[in-house]
Amino acid sequence: MSSPEELLRILTNKATVESSWREVVASVPRAAFLPEVVETPSRTVSRQDDPNAWLAAAYDDLPLITQVNDGREPDEGAYRLPTSSSSSPSLMLQMLGLLDVRDGHHVLELGTGTGYHAAWLARRLGDDRVTSVEIDPVLAEAAAKNLAEAGFRSRVVCGDGDAGWADCAPYDRVVATYAVPSVPYAWVEQSVAPDGRIVTPWGGSFFPYSFATLEVRRRRADPPVAQGRFSGYPAFMRSRNNRPPRGFLADFLHHRGKEQTGRTQLCPRVLAADADAQFWVGLELPDAWYLLAEADDGSGEATLWVLADDRSSWAAVEFVPDRETYEVGQYGPRRLWDEVEAAHRAWARLGRPGRDRAGLNVTRTEECVWLDTPAKVVRTLHHAR
């Protein structure tokens, strides 16, 4: 039963699959792109030990982790960071819908991973219209092999996708399958202008869960610019060349008992449940992440941890049901909860807009997030390169 046709059936039951992708989904064998061992959201499945379960995972609408810790075998009990995966097919379709791929388009994919997504594009557009860049040499080689063995000849390049791939530019469409805290200008420069389009998971550490869909424009001889909006709630791995350290909570906590204490009226549970608030607050905290840890005693209590990427600072806010203020502890050179509160107040002053009112502008020198109209810039990020 586990087959590409079965995957199409599963996807069709969930949502309409655009006709241009139906034949693609039904004819590209995902199993041909997966390693012998994959991790589903609930378990690790080995092809050798349980071939039926492995095949069932391949043709289910599941994200499958295909590499952890950049391919280095983690020590027993060590933190396991997923570093490559085959995204869930429904998420791939969502991204491709945003990308608005048309016949004849030339597409640049950043983050080849297994090669499965590149194979979809190649089946849809033709081998010579797809270029894919993967930073990990072992993965790039495996993807090229997977593609060749499945009968595809699209180009796989080993390199830093943040630099795009100038040799084959310009591209009608640029799609990243890893998250970036800001859009590399190379992607804009290498796009067809006007009418090029870029789709990428976007955001800093606090809220990396947005797709940015950008149209590329050019006025006369000026350098091209990209402009667009945010949607979706994708969870992608961060670009490897500026990946902040991750680990267990304990790796980020130090000097417990030495924190400065206080109280806050900003309810940590409300913040943790409000994606719009997180998006706007996240613009001011691109280098800190958060974790809501539920008490396991049935009390309904929880701790919201805010943790600096560089591990220098942390904050803890204790949620207790039916209280109007909450205890806060902050340690380190930054007062992270004060930063969250200030960003939250600034969002409130804007009238608590949803993320759908935000937009993004990318020029050669800077990247701006705006509210409602490009003239109303809320946050400017400067390009590192």
Ligand X SMILES: C[S@@+](CC[C@H](N)C(=O)[O-])C[C@H]1O[C@@H](n2cnc3c(N)ncnc32)[C@H](O)[C@@H]1O
Tell me which residues are annotated as active site: 87
The secondary structure element, H or E, covering residue 359 is strand 358-362
**Is residue 225 at the binding interface for ligand X, with CB under 6 A as the rule?**
no
**Is residue 210 at the binding interface for ligand X, with CB under 6 A as the rule?**
no
Contact track, ligand X, 77-96, x by CB under 6 A: ------xxxxx---------
Residues 354, 240: Cα–Cα separation, whole Å: 30
Per-residue tokens: 327:
């205890």
Candidate segments 156-164, 262-270, 277-285, 329-337, binder of ligand X by CB under 6 A: 156-164
Residues 26, 138: Cα–Cα separation, whole Å: 28
Contacts of 220 (CB under 8 A, 6+ apart): none
Least distance to ligand X, CB of residue 111, Å: 3
Candidate segments 130-138, 281-289, 305-313, 332-340, binder of ligand X by CB under 6 A: 130-138
Contact status, residue 272 vs residue 339, Cβ threshold 8 Å? no
Binding to ligand X in span 230-269, by CB under 6 A: 236-237, 239-241
Residues 12, 175: Cα–Cα separation, whole Å: 23
Nearer to ligand X (CB atom), residue 83 or residue 200: 83
Pick one of 6, 160, 215, 338: the residue that binds ligand X (CB under 6 A): 160
Note the Cα 293 to chain centre separation in Å: 22
Pick one of 4, 89, 111, 268: the residue that binds ligand X (CB under 6 A): 111
Tokens 């206080």 belong to residue: 262
Nearer to ligand X (CB atom), residue 32 or residue 328: 32
How many residues touch ligand X under the rule CB under 6 A: the total is 26
Nearer to ligand X (CB atom), residue 116 or residue 280: 116
Binding to ligand X in span 176-195, by CB under 6 A: 177-178
Output the CA–CA distances (angstroms, integers) from residue 354 to 39, 166, 276, 371, in the order listed. Answer: 34, 36, 5, 10
Contact status, residue 306 vs residue 251, Cβ threshold 8 Å? no
Pick one of 25, 99, 139, 150: the residue that binds ligand X (CB under 6 A): 139
The secondary structure element, H or E, covering residue 228 is strand 225-231
Q: HSE (CB half, 13 Å, CA atoms) of 122? A: 23
Pick one of 62, 110, 130, 150: the residue that binds ligand X (CB under 6 A): 110
Pick one of 58, 91, 135, 157: the residue that binds ligand X (CB under 6 A): 135
Nearer to ligand X (CB atom), residue 107 or residue 139: 139
Contact status, residue 20 vs residue 121, Cβ threshold 8 Å? no
**Is residue 280 at the binding interface for ligand X, with CB under 6 A as the rule?**
no
Nearer to ligand X (CB atom), residue 177 or residue 278: 177
Residues 368, 361: Cα–Cα separation, whole Å: 5
Contacts of 43 (CB under 8 A, 6+ apart): none
Least distance to ligand X, CB of residue 241, Å: 5
Pick one of 17, 38, 55, 133: the residue that binds ligand X (CB under 6 A): 133
Strands 64-68 and 196-202: unpaired
Least distance to ligand X, CB of residue 198, Å: 15
Give the CA dihedral 94, 95, 100, 104, nearest 10 degrees: -120
Footprint on this chain of ligand X (rule: CB under 6 A): 83-87, 110-111, 113-114, 116-117, 133-136, 139, 160-162, 177-178, 236-237, 239-241
